[in-house]
Structure 1
Amino acid sequence: MIKSAFLNRSKEIIKLAIPAVGEMILYMLIWVFDTLMVGKHGGQISVSAVGFSSEIMYTFINILIAMGLSISITSIVARCLGAREHKKAEDMADLGVKIGGVIAVLVFLIFFIFSKNILSLAGAKGDVLTLGYRYMRICSIGLFFNMVTNLLNGVFRGCKNTKTPLYGAAILNIVNLSLDYALIFGKFGFPELGVEGAAIATTIGNVCAFLFILSQLKKLPFKISLKGKVNFNYLKELVDLAVPSGLQEGAFSIVRLLSVMMVMKLGSLAFSANQISVTIESISFMPGWGFAISAVSLVGHSIGEKDLKGAREYANTSLLLACIVMGFFSLVFLFFSENLVRLFIKSDEVEVIALGAACLMIGSIQQIPTAIDMVLSGSLKGMGDTKTPFRIVLFCNWCIRLPLMYYFIYLKRMPVTYFWWITSLQWTVEAAIFIKIYRNKFYKNPLKS
C-alpha cells in the first residue's frame, strides 16, 4: 500500500517535473549554446563578453520575474485551485501579469539605454566591454518578451500544466540554435556577426516563444484579460509573496554577480575558465529547479485542500528524486570534467581547459546540497512561506559566501578554484539549515506554520 502510494506520487511529480526540467534545461541551453559557439568563434574574449553580460541581465530577470513574481503566481494559483477558488486564481494571475508587464518594460529600457554604463560600472574593459555592450543592447529587446513569457509560464505551472512552457522553450531553442550557427559563423549566406549574431539569434528565439505561449492561453481553466480594476487586497497578497521570493533570489544572485566581478580581477584566463565551468554546472541545476517547481505546485494544491500529509509526501518524494538526478551529475562532473570543458573552448587553450576542469571537479561536491536547497525552498513557497527561504539564503550568501570571496579572491588573489570551495561550503550549510526548518514546519509545528 505504502509502495503503491509512493509510486503514484512519484508518477505525478515526474509528470510535472520532467516537462519543467526540460523547460529549464532548454532555457539554460540558450546561454550554453551562445557561450559554446562564441567561444569556438572568438575564444576567451568572446566568452568573457557574453558570459559577463548574461550574468548581469539574468540576475535581474531572476530577481524580479523568474524567481520573484512568476514563482509567486504559481504558488497562489495552485493554492486557489486546490481550494476551488477559480475566480481568485483568475484575478491573481491577471494581476501578476499586469505588474510583471510594467516591470518588463522598465528593465528593457534600462538595459537598452544604459548597457554600456552598466557593463563599465561592473568592471568590464577593452574588448570585453565593446563586445558585451553590443550583445547586451540587442538581447535587451528579447528580454522583454522573455520576462512576459516567464510570467505566463508561472500561470500554466500553477494550473499543473508544465508541458506548454516546455514547448515554448523548445521553440526558443530550435530558433536560437539554428540562427546561432548561421549568424555567428556566417553560414548559409548570412553575414559572419560573431557575438552580435548570438544576440540576434537569442532575441528572435524569445519573440517566437512568446508568440507561441500567447497562442496557448486558451488552454488555461480561466481567462487572462488584463482588464478591470486592481483589487488592492489581492495586490497586497501577491506583493507579500513576491517581494521575499524576489529578495531571496537577489540575496543569492547579487552575491554571485559580485563574486563574478571579483573573479574578473584575476584575469581573462581565470574568468573564462570559471565562466565555462559555471555554464556547464548550470545544466545540472535545471533538474533541481524542475523538481522545485513541481513541489511548489503540488504542495500548493495540497495546502489549498488542507491536506498537510499529502503536501509532506510530495515534498519528500520531490526531494528524493532531485537528489538522485543531481547526484548523477555529481559523478559526471567528477570523472568527465576535462571532456566537458573542451567542448566550450579552442583545443589549443590548454590552461583554460585544465583550470576549468579543476573547478568543475570541486563543483561536484555541491550538487546534492543544491538539490536539497532548491526542493525544500520550493516546498516552503508552496506552503505560502517565502520569507523563511529568503532569510536562510540571505544569511548563507551575505554572511558566509561574500566575506570569504572578498578575503580569498579579492584581497588575497587566490586561484579561482577557491571560488568553488567557498560555494560548496555555502550550499552545504544552507542545505543543513533548510532541512532543520523544513522538519519544524512540516512535522513538528505544522499547525503553527
Structure 2
Amino acid sequence: MKNTNTASLLADLREGRNLSTQVQSQLILLLSGPAILAQLSVTIMQLIDAGMAGSLGADAAASIGLVSSSTWLIHGSCTGAVYGFSVQCAQAIGAKDKNAVCLSRQGLYLVLAIGLLIGLLGILLSPYIPVWLGGESSILSDSTKYLAVFCLSLPFVLLNSWAVQMLQSAGNTRLPSLIQIVMCFLDVLFNYLFIFIMDLGVMGAAFGTCLAEVCSSLFLSYHVLFKDPFLKGSLKPHYTRTSIRRAWQIGLPASIEQIITGSSYVMFTRIVSSLGSISIAANSFAITAESLCYMPGYGCAAAASVIIGQCSGAGRIDLQKQMAWRICRIGVFMMTLSGVAMFILAPYLMGMLTPVPEIAQLGIQVLRIEAFAEPMYGASIVITGILRGKGDTFWPAILNLLSIWCVRIPLAALLSVPLGLFGAWIAMNIELNFRGLIFLIRLKKTFSKDSGMKTNTM
C-alpha cells in the first residue's frame, strides 16, 4: 500500500509526481489539522489567562484587556524576522537545497536580537502605555505589570514562533501542535501557582504564561537545531547578501502588515476604553472567545505557506494554483462552520470567561454579530498564507491597510458613539467582509497569469 503520510506526500510534491484531487485535499488536511491544534492551544492560553484573572473581578479582567492589543502589536511587529526566513526555508526545502539549515540559523539569531531589543523598549514604556490607552486609574498598575512581564518574556515568545514556523516550513506541523498543547497545561499549572498560591494576581497570570513559553520554546528550538532532518546541523549562520536581501523583502512587509493590524487593535481598544470598564472587559473577552473560531483559518494558512512555498521551490507552478484555490475553499468552509458554532455557543464561551452578568451579556451580543463575518475573514487569513508561501508579503500589508484603517477604524469611531460596543463590532463585521472580498480579488489576479498553463493532476 502506498504511504500517504505528510512526509511522503510532500516528497511526492518535491519530486514532481502527480497529485490527484483526493491526495491534494489529504495533504492540506494532514498539514492544517495539527496547525489548527497549535493555534488553538495559543488561544486557549489566552482564555486561561483571561478566565483565571477574570475570577479576580472586573478590574483584573479589564487590566489585561486594556493592554492585550499592545501585546499583539509588539509581538506582531517582530514576526517579520520569522517569516523572512521561514518562507525561504520552505522554498529551499522544496528545491532540495541544503541552504535551509543556514537560513534557519540566520532567522534564529535575528529573532533573539530583536526580541531582546524590543522587549527592553517595551519594559521601559510599560508604565506609560496603559495611560496612553485611556485606562481608568483603578487598572493602570495591574496593566503596567502585565505588559512589563510580557515584554520580559518576548525573546522566548519570538523563539517559540521561530521554532514553530521553521518546523512547519519543513512540513512538520504535528510536533509543534503537541508541544503547544503541553504548553497549555503548563500555563494552567503555573498560573494557579502564581495567581492563587503566591497571590500575585494579574501579574501572576503574566508570569505563568511567560514560564510556559520558556519551556515550549526551548524544547522546540532543540528539535529544530539537533533533530529535524531538514534543519539540523551547524549553529553557524553563514550570512549571505542574497538571503538577507530576500528576508528583508519578505519580512519587512510582513512586519508592517502586523503593525498595521496591531496598531488598529490598539486604536480600537482606545475607542472602546472611552465606554468604561464593562465594555473594555466584554471587548477583551469577546475577542479572546472569537479567536477560538478563526483557528481553522490560521491552520489552513500555515498549511498553505508550507505547500505553496515548497511548490514554488520545486518549480511546481502548475500545482500552486490548484492547491491555492483548494486550500482557500477548505478554509472558508471550516470558518463558516466556526461562525455557526460561535453564534450558538456564545453564552457558554462568555460564561467560561467571566462571572459578571453585565460583561457576559454584552460579550454574547457582539460575538453573535461577528459570527456573520467569519467566512470572509477566513478567506483573508488563508489567502495571506498562500501569498506568503509565494514570497508575497507586500499585498497583504497593502490590503490590510486599506481595509482596517479606511473602513474599520472610521466606522467604529462613528458607530460607537450612538451604539456603544455594539456599534464598534458592527463596524468590525463590515470591515472583515470587505477584507475577505478584496483578498479574493487579489488571489484571482495572482494566479490569472497561470490560467493557460497545463495542470498536473491525475
Q: Same fold (TM over 0.5)?
A: yes
- What corresponds to 1:51 in structure 2? 65
Paired AA for residue 284 in structure 2 = Q
2:136 counterpart of 1:125: yes
2:107 counterpart of 1:93: no
Identity of aligned residues (%): 21
2:241 counterpart of 1:232: yes
2:296 counterpart of 1:287: yes
- What corresponds to 1:437 in structure 2? 442
- What corresponds to 1:331 in structure 2? 340
Displacement of 1:429: 1.2
Displacement of 1:224: 5.7
- What corresponds to 2:15 in structure 1? none
Paired AA for residue 289 in structure 1 = Y
**In structure 2, which of residues 109, 112, 117 is the aligned counterpart of residue 106 of structure 1?**
117
Cα distance in structure 2, aligned partners of 1:224 and 1:125: 52
**In structure 1, which of residues 219, 224, 231 is the aligned counterpart of residue 227 of structure 2?**
219
2:32 counterpart of 1:20: no
- What corresponds to 1:178 in structure 2? 189
Cα distance in structure 2, aligned partners of 1:392 and 1:224: 39
Q: Does structure 2 retain, via aligned residues, the 8 Å contact 1:81–1:304? A: yes
2:48 counterpart of 1:33: yes
Q: Does structure 2 retain, via aligned residues, the 8 Å contact 1:79–1:302? A: yes
- What corresponds to 1:420 in structure 2? 425
Cα distance in structure 2, aligned partners of 1:109 and 1:194: 23
- What corresponds to 1:381 in structure 2? 388
Cα distance in structure 2, aligned partners of 1:446 and 1:238: 29
Q: Does structure 2 retain, via aligned residues, the 8 Å contact 1:31–1:54? A: no
Cα distance in structure 2, aligned partners of 1:194 and 1:209: 23
Q: Does structure 2 retain, via aligned residues, the 8 Å contact 1:77–1:158? A: yes
Q: Does structure 1 retain, via aligned residues, the 8 Å contact 2:305–2:385? A: yes
TM-score by length of 1: 0.92
> CA offsets per residue over residues 229-281 of structure 1, 9 Å max, x none?
53222111100000111111222221121111110111111111111111100
Mapping of residues 142-181 of structure 1, within 5 Å: 142-181=153-192
Cα distance in structure 2, aligned partners of 1:387 and 1:246: 10
Displacement of 1:113: 2.8
Cα distance in structure 1, aligned partners of 2:249 and 2:77: 15
Paired AA for residue 174 in structure 2 = K
2:422 counterpart of 1:400: no
TM-score by length of 2: 0.90
Displacement of 1:114: 2.6
2:78 counterpart of 1:70: no
Cα distance in structure 2, aligned partners of 1:19 and 1:375: 16
Mapping of residues 255-274 of structure 1, within 5 Å: 255-274=264-283
Cα distance in structure 1, aligned partners of 2:95 and 2:236: 24
CA 98–224 in structure 1, closer or farther in 2 if over 3 Å, else same: farther
2:287 counterpart of 1:278: yes
**In structure 2, which of residues 359, 369, 375 is the aligned counterpart of residue 362 of structure 1?**
369
- What corresponds to 1:81 in structure 2? 93
Q: Does structure 1 retain, via aligned residues, the 8 Å contact 2:347–2:360? A: yes
Paired AA for residue 219 in structure 1 = K
Cα distance in structure 2, aligned partners of 1:359 and 1:197: 29
Cα distance in structure 1, aligned partners of 2:101 and 2:441: 35
Cα distance in structure 1, aligned partners of 2:215 and 2:181: 10
Cα distance in structure 2, aligned partners of 1:69 and 1:228: 14
Paired AA for residue 408 in structure 1 = L
Cα distance in structure 2, aligned partners of 1:122 and 1:83: 47
Q: Does structure 2 retain, via aligned residues, the 8 Å contact 1:248–1:391? A: yes
Paired AA for residue 95 in structure 2 = A
Q: How many residues align?
A: 433
Runs of 4 or more consecutive aligned structure 1 residues displaced over 3 Å after TM superposition: 222-226, 444-448
Q: Does structure 1 retain, via aligned residues, the 8 Å contact 2:297–2:382? A: yes
> CA offsets per residue over residues 28-84 of structure 1, 9 Å max, x none?
1111110011112x221111111222321122112212xx22233232111111122
Cα distance in structure 1, aligned partners of 2:279 and 2:391: 41
Cα distance in structure 2, aligned partners of 1:18 and 1:153: 14
Q: Does structure 1 retain, via aligned residues, the 8 Å contact 2:90–2:170? A: yes
Q: Does structure 1 retain, via aligned residues, the 8 Å contact 2:159–2:221? A: no
Cα distance in structure 1, aligned partners of 2:268 and 2:325: 33
- What corresponds to 2:3 in structure 1? none
Cα distance in structure 1, aligned partners of 2:138 and 2:236: 47
Cα distance in structure 1, aligned partners of 2:235 and 2:118: 20
Cα distance in structure 2, aligned partners of 1:284 and 1:228: 38
Cα distance in structure 2, aligned partners of 1:318 and 1:35: 32
Which region of structure 1 is more displaced relative to structure 2, 215-224 or 333-342?
215-224
Q: Does structure 2 retain, via aligned residues, the 8 Å contact 1:92–1:238? A: no
SS of 1:391 mapped into structure 2: helix
- What corresponds to 2:309 in structure 1? 300
> CA offsets per residue over residues 294-319 of structure 1, 9 Å max, x none?
10110111121221221122222222
CA 441–447 in structure 1, closer or farther in 2 if over 3 Å, else same: farther
Displacement of 1:413: 5.3
CA 361–419 in structure 1, closer or farther in 2 if over 3 Å, else same: same
Paired AA for residue 41 in structure 2 = L
Cα distance in structure 2, aligned partners of 1:138 and 1:306: 45
Q: Does structure 2 retain, via aligned residues, the 8 Å contact 1:75–1:296? A: yes
2:218 counterpart of 1:207: no
**In structure 1, which of residues 195, 198, 205 is the aligned counterpart of residue 202 of structure 2?**
195
Structure 2 residues without counterparts, runs of 5 or longer: 1-18, 454-458
Q: Does structure 2 retain, via aligned residues, the 8 Å contact 1:327–1:367? A: yes
Which region of structure 1 is more displaced relative to structure 2, 262-271 or 398-407?
398-407
Displacement of 1:402: 1.8
Paired AA for residue 201 in structure 1 = G
Structure 1 residues without counterparts, runs of 5 or longer: none
